Amino acid sequence: MLVRTLIAPVKRFLMILSFSLSLSLSVCVLPEAPLDTPESNALLRTDDLPAFEELTPEKCYMGMGKLALEYEAGVWSVEEKIKKNQEAINFSNIIESLEVLDAPLSIAWSNVKTLYTVKNNEMTTSSYRRIHERARKARVHKFQSLPIYHACKDILLNEEGLNEAQQRVLRKYLLEARLNGIELSPDKRKSFTHTLNKLEQQKAQFRKKVDESSNRFAYRIYDPLVLKQFPEDLKSNMSSGRANYNEGPWDVTLQPHVYHKFLEYCPDPALRQNTWRAYNMRASNHLSEEVNNSLHITEIRSLRHEQANIIGYENFAQMSMETKMAGSVENVFSMITSIMAKSGEVQEKEIDSLQQFAAAGGHFGDLEPWDIAYWRRKQKRNLYNFEESQHKEFFPFDHVFGSLLEHCSQLFNISFEELEYGQVSTWHQDVRFFNILDSDGSYLASFYLDPYKRTEEKLYTSTTQAWMLGCRNRSDIAKTSPISTLVFNFTPPTEEFNNCLLTFSEVQILLKKFGHALQHLLTRVPYSEASGLTNIEWDAVEVCANFMQYWLYDPSTLQRISCHYESGLPLSGSSIKDIIASQNHMAAYDLCNELYLSHLDLQLHISNDFWFDITKELYSKYKPFKIDKYHAQPCSFTEIMTDIWGSAYYSSTWAKMLAADAIQTYNESTEDDVDDIGQRFRDTFLSLGGGCHPSEVFRRFRGRDPSPEALLTLHDINTTTGSS
């Protein structure tokens, strides 16, 4: 859960917990501030690049405490200004004052997040949680303030000459406050707070039971023949503590970094079935009542419905659409229906093709859900000669990253300047620092690059191994320029082998995270509350990330970034063709699964029907199998039940639809248009950030509303050939 706070918006639901108290106070009594100064504590030097080598958990804790108190006092001062002088209520006096107040706290908080990610051995999870919670509580106060709320309403209604970005900032303040119940009567506010408290308790129980049931399962393998085709990293992850992971025994667990690859490589269908069922019946009544989440699903759905009703929405899904580009549940269902109409038919062809391939390979009977990953990997290798690590020698990190910078320079008319080691304070000798310059040589932004795995230091989870951290937002008022940190866990060079070779999936991760960084770094919005990735509707946050990743479907781009680490030769034309085709292998099957989960998520938050009845009905519409008698996936669906994606799971597919439509522009144009398209993408998606609604951003780039056709075309999903 904590890792997600690095990349996700602060959960607004937690903002309520002290809401009633904050509104009823008439006297502000501040505790004594820590004695730290910028000279004694580097965290407080927010006007310059951070001196990471001086930061310690203790200094971070003390520094954040001081900044939080100063921030809260500053917000209180703005509130007093509003109360005493109504004529002083304008954008400059109120919002820009808050903008200046926000900069030191946000910058320091971001530096602590960076330290937590790259020095997790020193800045532990427990240490970070305390600091994070203190900063969060301070920063949300402005969204809980009645004086500031009413001032924002007055400014938006009465102040003339507000530009687009200013209006977006004001609407953000108003929406955040309204979703947190600021307009409620005292009695309703009390009920609202009580509902959210109960909801957090239910979510915590749900999460705990998923973890407990996941950890209960373990199956030990003693026969090395079962692991004959397993990749080295999988054998290492399954090793039972021995120094030599080839000696065994090996443990099958339900941890994501083991479970998914195990299904891909395990040749024994009985073992696959056992593992798949264990994973899909986690936290259900098929195990035991003490870890059964069925009741918690019912309670979470009911409490979210109550939460939405109290502040005036028909259901939780409708409330969720307030922060989404889609705007309505009907628009999301329209996308799902449109994509499913073609993907469903192609999915059937893919499964038929896989069934024939598996039968020829010795599989008896119909394919079951636990067979798909194993046989699709083998079919993918047969069709395209593709294994995940096969082309590593053509993707040395230094060449790939250098080529990526060249590619972005040409696309967006910018340049990159790397500073020599020692010119900037960093946390490790492998960390590199870059400035980004505009076409006229003027400074735009900077970023840190930390590419290599450090097992004892870096944060590394089974689900996330790479991060883009926004260290500093652009704010013309506070005079801050954008800075970000890119953190990866690629295998570092050694004395014996002085190269870092990337798998193709690692190349995809690199481009995706760099797309995120570019949107943060190239923003032109002058207010931190709407610059870069801030204030972008949730279902549009991933557009630039996917846009950059989709360049790997372009043959010339693949040729440019590939270079054999010894010969220097790029990938051959046939290899490039196979890599592109392999990305679309069983794409319809994957897309149908995402559509199923998206529909399931929304339906669970709209309907009052029992969760399994909803699951069973939708499963038959999207899946090519009969639902297994042990299937209870919603009982462990943490993404929508405990994380931030309740009624928002569709966001990933929505963003991919937008990105595919955007990249399709290049396929429709001539070579002479490429520079203009790149500049237009920079002037819209990369520049406007959260300062313009993403629907309008897309229209300014594409000249129309988005269509799902480009996503289907990108993945070669059509009713004639399919994508197998």
Q: How confident is the model at residue 31 (pLDDT cuts 50, 70, 90)?
A: low
Short-list 32, 508, 445, CA closest to 433: 445
- In eight-state DSSP terms, residue 456 is T
Check whether 486 has a pLDDT greater than 70: yes
Q: Please state whether 283 falls in left (phi above 0), alpha (psi between -120 and 50) or beta.
A: left
Fold of 3-180: Neurolysin; domain 3 (1.10.1370)
Check whether 307 has a pLDDT greater than 90: yes
Return the bridge partners of 449, or none.
432, 486
pTM for this prediction: 0.93
**What mean pLDDT do residues 170-188 have?**
97
Q: What is the mean pLDDT of the chain?
A: 93
Report pLDDT digits (tens) over 415-467: 999 999 999 999 999 999 999 999 999 999 999 999 999 988 998 775 678 99
d(CA 101, CA 30): 17
How large is the greatest C-alpha to C-alpha distance in the chain, in angstroms? 82
Assess contact for 228 and 300: CB atoms under 8 A. Answer: no
| Run of H or E residues at 518 | helix 504-521
Return the bridge partners of 219, or none.
252
Check whether 16 has a pLDDT greater than 50: no
- Percent of the chain exceeding pLDDT 70 equals 94
**What mean pLDDT do residues 604-608 have?**
98
How distant, in Å, are the alpha carbons of 149, 335, 520, 655 from that of 536?
21, 20, 11, 12
Check whether 105 has a pLDDT greater than 90: yes
Check whether 52 has a pLDDT greater than 90: yes
Q: How confident is the model at residue 54 (pLDDT cuts 50, 70, 90)?
A: very high
22 or 109: which carries more pLDDT confidence? 109
d(CA 558, CA 570): 9
Per CATH, the number for 392-583 is 1.10.1370.40
Check whether 178 has a pLDDT greater than 50: yes
Check whether 74 has a pLDDT greater than 70: yes
d(CA 58, CA 112): 11
Q: What is the pLDDT of residue 18?
A: 41
Q: What is the pLDDT of residue 671?
A: 82
Alpha carbon 77 to chain centroid distance? 36
Min mean pLDDT across 17-26, 120-129, 589-598, 659-668 is at 17-26
**Matching fold, domains 3-180 and 392-583:** yes
Q: What is the pLDDT of residue 33?
A: 62
Q: What is the pLDDT of residue 573?
A: 96
d(CA 298, CA 605): 10
d(CA 696, CA 476): 23
Short-list 538, 560, 534, CA closest to 411: 560
Domain locations in the chain? 3-180, 392-583
Q: What is the pLDDT of residue 87?
A: 84
Got the DSSP string for 351-380?
HHHHHHHHHHTT--SS--HHHHHHHHHHHH
